[in-house]
Amino acid sequence: MEWNARKLLELSSGYWAGCAVQAAVRLDIFTVLAAGAQDEGELARTLACDRRGFAMLITALVALRLLERRANGKIAAPAEVLALLSRNSPDYLGFIIQHHAHLMPGWAKLAEAVREGKPTRADSASHTDSEAEREAFLLGMFNIARLQAEKVAEALDLSGCKRLIDVGGGPGTYAVYFCKKNPSLRATIFDLPTTEPFAKKIVARYGLAERIDFAGGDFLGDTLPKGQDVAWLSQVLHGETVDDAAKLLKNAAACLVPGGLLCVQEFVLDDDRGGPAHAALFALNMLIGTPGGQTYTAQELAVMMQAAGAVETWVLDVALPQSCQVLVGRMGGRV
């Protein structure tokens, strides 16, 4: 890529558009517009917004093609936008967008985090005392995982497996899709007790309460339920220090039967650490939000999985977005 002043300035100001989308979601503009086009002034009154500020936001959203002005002057949203941003849509992505908004203050202090080597957010999103932030984080994880969970479940061969534990599984999206794909599989979601209401809600939504249960605890300090055929860890290692990530893998491996599968999904860096951009930037997200989190290369993950007892490891053959990869390790012994 050849850099010039225009490209650099567009990169530096790129958060403007993101903040406009986040504001629109937090104000719930798209949910209201799902009922039909509305007069701009009436829409501002419905949402209890200042008329001048609201007009500016609407203009920005029209410019971003998230909204449109009709010939009669009314404001409407394209159907594909409403499908993703109306709270009443089954494909709603608003929770992860609200989570992004909660991350903004920490990102604004990135230089401080780099200089001092410690987080600029007081609490991680999953441990916060704010119910609204916890909901945005956990259901935001459902928003993201749901986009690729079916593809992962299709690619990962769990035939013959009876028990799966979703370690740090949050709302249990992957447990749901693995059980949908494998009718004889039962699963346990293991996460903090505060996560249980959200997980139960998602499991019930898919009619799987009889096959998926929840166990609350600390995945680093507590013993995980034994006798598992599969341990699934999706996007949890990056939140821990290197030592704790290795400890977590050993803890997960210890709950597996001989020959069981240790499965890790992460945003993975290239072995030369030259990219991809998403994995590299996500490492900075861990810098501002955790005491020792980071992203890893596939080679680094494989070494940690082998240290936990995997006798062979491989990368699952599935194309996923945002630099995601799934590594699978088979434990020693025979089933």
Cite the active site residues. 238
Kindly state the DSSP code that residue 333 receives in the 8-state scheme: S
Please report which residue ranges of the chain form alpha helices under DSSP H: 5-12, 15-27, 29-33, 40-46, 51-63, 79-85, 94-107, 110-116, 131-146, 149-155, 173-181, 196-205, 242-254, 277-289, 298-307
Amino acid identity for residue 3 in this structure = W
The rounded Cα 101 to chain-centroid distance in angstroms is 14
Please, which contacts does 108-116 make with residues 24 or more away whose CB atoms are closer than 8 Å?
Answer: 109/288, 110/284, 110/287, 110/288, 113/284, 113/287, 113/288, 114/287
Number of other residues whose CB lies within 10 A of the CB of residue 328: 20
State the residue for tokens 């020693």: 332
Residues 187 and 212 sit within 8 Å (Cβ to Cβ): yes
Place of tokens 């020792």: 292
| Cross-strand bridge partners of residue 326 | 265
Q: Is 241 helix (H, G, I), strand (E, B) or coil?
A: coil
